[in-house]
Chain A
Amino acid sequence: MSEGTQQSPFSADQRRALVCVLDRIIPPSADAKMPGAGELGLADHIEQVLRKTPDLLSTITDGLEAADERAAGSGEKAFERLPDSERSRVLAELSTTHPGFLPSLIFHTYVGYYQHPTVVAALGMETHPPYPTGFPMEPGDLTLLDGVKQRTQMYRDA
């Protein structure tokens, strides 16, 4: 089965909440140069991670449902309806009630985000892997060694 046709491990509500959580973990930058992790589509990356590590699935889905429940508690229908400051507060609260949720999501979000071609390009790097192009480098200024060259033998004869 190809990547595109694989079934999502999330319900539609969970997936919507996930996108918002990702956008809170890494929000868009103020200057708009760096995208938010959710808008970048990293929910797909998280799904891929969960296919490889299914043990993690319930930690994530429980956390997402709890996020929605807490939003309901503050009068909103869902986490996605909350303003940013409220979203951050809910996530911080989940750190105590669902200790595995945020750390694992942050780890996989950082990994997926910083190897995404859009982000790599925004950092000013080439978007392809280091090999086979590599990076040109100048030899460097070896006149910096002039003082060291004046030193006498430092090792002991034996």
Chain B
Amino acid sequence: MSEEAVDVLIVGAGAAGAAFAWSLAETRMNVVCLEQGGWMKPEEYPTAGVDWEMRRLGDFGMSPNSRGRKEDYPVNDSESPISISNFNAVGGSTILYAAHFPRFHPGDFKTKTLDGVGDDWPVDYAQLAPYYDVNARMMGVAGLAGDPANPHHDFPLPPVPLGKIGETLARGFNKLGWHWWPSDSAIATRDYEGRAKCINLGPCIMGCAQGAKGSTDVTYWPLAVRQGVEVRTQCRVREVTLGANGLADGVVYYDADGVERRQKAEIVVIACNGVGTPRLLLNSVSKEFPDGLANNSGLVGKNLMFHPYAMVNGVFDEPIEGYKGPTGCCLMSQEFYETDLSRGFVRGYTIETLRGNGPVSTALAGLGGDIPWGDDHHREFANRFDRSAGMVVICEDLPEEHNSVTIDTDLVDSDGIPSPKINYKLSENSRKMLDHSVARGTEILEAAGAHNVLSQAPLQPAGWHLMGTARMGTDPAKSVVNEWGRSHDVKNLFIIDGSIFVTAAAVNPTNTIQALTLYIADTIKKNLSNLFD
């Protein structure tokens, strides 16, 4: 097995790896994906048990440092106010994601031209639009056409229910005359392509037991596998190796038993996310690339972008049925999305409203004193349970070289591979944007009738969106990959995840990661005869 070269070797079976594999499957090339995690069993997800709320503090937590699964690798994020969240399995971080699925705006690809910050992308909205459409069909995106904040796009599925909380907050937005719209959501709101419809279980961020959420283990992967793609699970790649001709010739990985193996390949595609990808490249050191593979620009691991998040919550007088319905998908507002310098910062943010909590989470959220022990306990619990809700705010982060992923040689995973280290500082622009968003969030909640409004900004566990660490561009001195994801330095090496983002926009990234991946896969298919020229 190991001495035979496969045509295409993908590392990482998450959002990007899955879409890419599906797209290439039609070529009938020999496509293999190596993934350090395994296949998940949706029927074992937390919402199938009475202790469902607590498992977010255990094996379904967001942080690989506390989750304690064998397939996780530790991340040193002690030098960052925002910590890394991910999941390692077939489906990658989409196993946990909230499935909030907006598109970038056309202007997000042109921040330099429009606002003099960041850089323009070498691709634009018009080029990606057809791939957003394919992705909507493949992931099963629910929504409502006609949003004035976005270019027109249609949806295969009707929007997620607003619920009582959505209607309550919508009235608040309306009172202020501010934009809102039902969220684009990768959630099957009707039975769809073999997936059962959403039954409003609640915490999508602990995996969807119903299989209604569009995680790639239930969308792209089954189709890709049926068409002949091989997913080799529990296989953790240590490094990409370089042949004598200056091309990547395969990878070295550890299998489920920890045995070191080698897989040769004609084309190597990296899809390990904005932290896993620079980690792999920086660990792939050779005579030709002493500072990490494909790193002649010195930009591998640089320009790490998160979306700094704010969270604003309030308490309502009436029950809001907040524990029902997809946690992170309800409605969103882009009133403050486009640049308006009078606000004191450049670029903008999206507001994503949240539903409420179950009883255990409500009680634990009150541990700070809001829900005391003793005689007042029941009164204060009743004031909050099913009455607390609010929003998160997704702020656009700008690329800054000092925000980075490097290697911590002292911290290793269970196969002994050195781990990533995060260095990140919140910019002044982000700080101002967060403050602005908290003030506006408070106004919205109060207009909707909430009191006791509390906020956190930046939200520490919110390193959900990992971008920019192997940016794309046309100039090899200023970017790691070209306009279709191919390394400037190693002509058969492609990067397809959020690492290649030039800027971050102010929306959740996965729809754009996948649209870009599908675009890259199509470009590869069109250029197969002269791919390495």
- Residues of chain B within 8 A (CB-CB) of A151 are 148, 179
- Residues of chain B within 8 A (CB-CB) of A50 are none
Complex Cα distance, B146 from A136, in Å, reads 27
- Residues of chain B within 8 A (CB-CB) of A139 are 158-159, 161-162
Specify the chain B residue showing the minimal Cβ separation from A136: B200
- Residues of chain B within 8 A (CB-CB) of A141 are 162, 167
B residues 127-177 near A (Cβ < 8 Å) are 144, 146, 148-151, 158-159, 161-163, 166-167, 170-171, 174, 177
Option from B52, B114, B181 in Cβ contact (under 8 Å) with A156: B114
Q: Chain A nearest CB: distance from B370 CB in Å?
A: 12
B residues 276-325 near A (Cβ < 8 Å) are 321, 323-325
Q: Chain A nearest CB: distance from B458 CB in Å?
A: 25
**Given the contacts A123-B359, A156-B105, A158-B113, A25 and B374 also touching, CB distance less than 8 Å:** yes
Specify the chain B residue showing the minimal Cβ separation from A140: B162
Is B400's beta carbon under 8 Å from chain A? no
- Complex interface bits, A132-155 against B, C-beta within 8 A gives 1, otherwise 0: 111111111110110111011111
- Residues of chain A within 8 A (CB-CB) of B345 are none
A residues 97-126 near B (Cβ < 8 Å) are 102, 106-107, 109-111, 113-115, 117, 119-120, 123, 125
Would B167 and A114 count as touching, CB distance under 8 A?
no
Complex Cα distance, B227 from A62, in Å, reads 63
- Residues of chain A within 8 A (CB-CB) of B124 are 158
- Residues of chain A within 8 A (CB-CB) of B182 are 142, 145
Would A115 and B53 count as touching, CB distance under 8 A?
yes
Complex Cα distance, B375 from A37, in Å, reads 12
- Complex interface bits, A2-28 against B, C-beta within 8 A gives 1, otherwise 0: 000000000000000000000011110
Complex Cα distance, B148 from A153, in Å, reads 5
- Residues of chain A within 8 A (CB-CB) of B338 are 154-156
- Residues of chain B within 8 A (CB-CB) of A74 are none
Q: What interface size band does chain B fall in?
A: 35 or more
Is B117's beta carbon under 8 Å from chain A? no
Is A66's beta carbon under 8 Å from chain B? no
Is B244's beta carbon under 8 Å from chain A? no
Is A78's beta carbon under 8 Å from chain B? no
Q: Chain A nearest CB: distance from B53 CB in Å?
A: 7
- Residues of chain A within 8 A (CB-CB) of B167 are 140-141, 144
Q: Chain A nearest CB: distance from B201 CB in Å?
A: 4
- Complex interface bits, B347-376 against A, C-beta within 8 A gives 1, otherwise 0: 000000000001110111001000001110
Complex Cα distance, B51 from A144, in Å, reads 37
Is B254's beta carbon under 8 Å from chain A? no
Specify the chain A residue showing the minimal Cβ separation from B111: A158
**Given the contacts A144-B167, A155-B150, A155-B337, A129 and B373 also touching, CB distance less than 8 Å:** no
Would B375 and A27 count as touching, CB distance under 8 A?
yes
Complex Cα distance, B165 from A141, in Å, reads 12
Would B177 and A147 count as touching, CB distance under 8 A?
yes
**Given the contacts A114-B360, A136-B200, A154-B148, A131 and B45 also touching, CB distance less than 8 Å:** yes
Would A144 and B174 count as touching, CB distance under 8 A?
yes
- Residues of chain B within 8 A (CB-CB) of A158 are 105-107, 109-110, 113-114, 124-125
Would B363 and A130 count as touching, CB distance under 8 A?
no
Is A55's beta carbon under 8 Å from chain B? no
- Residues of chain B within 8 A (CB-CB) of A132 are 48, 199, 209-210
Is B243's beta carbon under 8 Å from chain A? no
Complex Cα distance, B52 from A149, in Å, reads 39
Specify the chain B residue showing the minimal Cβ separation from A154: B149
Query: Which residues of A come within 8 Å of B, CB atoms?
Result: 24-27, 29-30, 34, 84, 88, 102, 106-107, 109-111, 113-115, 117, 119-120, 123, 125, 128-142, 144-145, 147-149, 151-158
Query: Which residues of B come within 8 Å of A, CB atoms?
Result: 45, 47-54, 105-107, 109-110, 113-114, 124-125, 144, 146, 148-151, 158-159, 161-163, 166-167, 170-171, 174, 177, 179-182, 198-202, 209-210, 321, 323-325, 334, 337-338, 358-360, 362-364, 367, 373-375, 377-378, 385
- Can you spell out 7 A-B residue pairs with CB atoms less than 8 angstroms apart? A26-B373, A129-B50, A134-B201, A144-B171, A156-B105, A158-B105, A158-B125
A88-B375, A131-B45, A158-B109 are known contacts; what are 6 more A-B pairs with Cβ within 8 Å? A25-B373, A102-B373, A111-B54, A114-B359, A132-B48, A137-B321
> Shortest 3 CB-CB distances between A and B: which pairs?
A134-B199, A140-B162, A114-B359
